Amino acid sequence: MKNENLYGWVFVYNPYTELWNAARREDYSLLFSAISKKSDKVLRSREVNTLIELINKTEGKATKIASLLKNQVKHVIVH
């Protein structure tokens, strides 16, 4: 299956920030919380395809995502 790593992820578009947000299903509530701005469990990007690529590249595993973004800011924002 092509996008099997996306299973269990929730994607939401915020028209105010013009960003796509993604979080694991168990962290779904963070997508609608002010806490999400400080949470490394929420990924953000201007393009949903960037989030999809990141999740697929890391197999959706938090440790691999953290390792890949080690020298990056906590929130992924891609223009």
- pLDDT tens-digit map of 2-35: 789 999 999 999 999 899 999 999 999 998 887 6
Tell me whether residue 73 is in a domain. Answer: no
Is 23 within the bounds of a domain?
yes
Residue 54 lies in a domain: yes
Would residue 13 count as lying in a domain?
A: yes
* Residue 56 structural domain: 4-68
- How many domains are there within the chain? 1
77 assigned to some structural domain: no
Work out the mean pLDDT of the chain and round it to a whole number.
84
* Section 42-54 average pLDDT: 94
Which residues lie below 8 Å from residue 64, measured CB to CB, with a gap of 6+? 58
In a domain, 76, yes or no: no
Q: Write the CB contacts of 59 (distance below 8 Å, at least 6 apart in sequence).
A: 5
pLDDT at 78 over 70: no
- Is the whole-model pTM more than 0.75? yes
Domain-embedded: residue 14:
yes
Q: DSSP for 9-49?
A: EEEEEETTTTEEEEEEGGGGGGGGSGGGGG-TT-EEES-HH
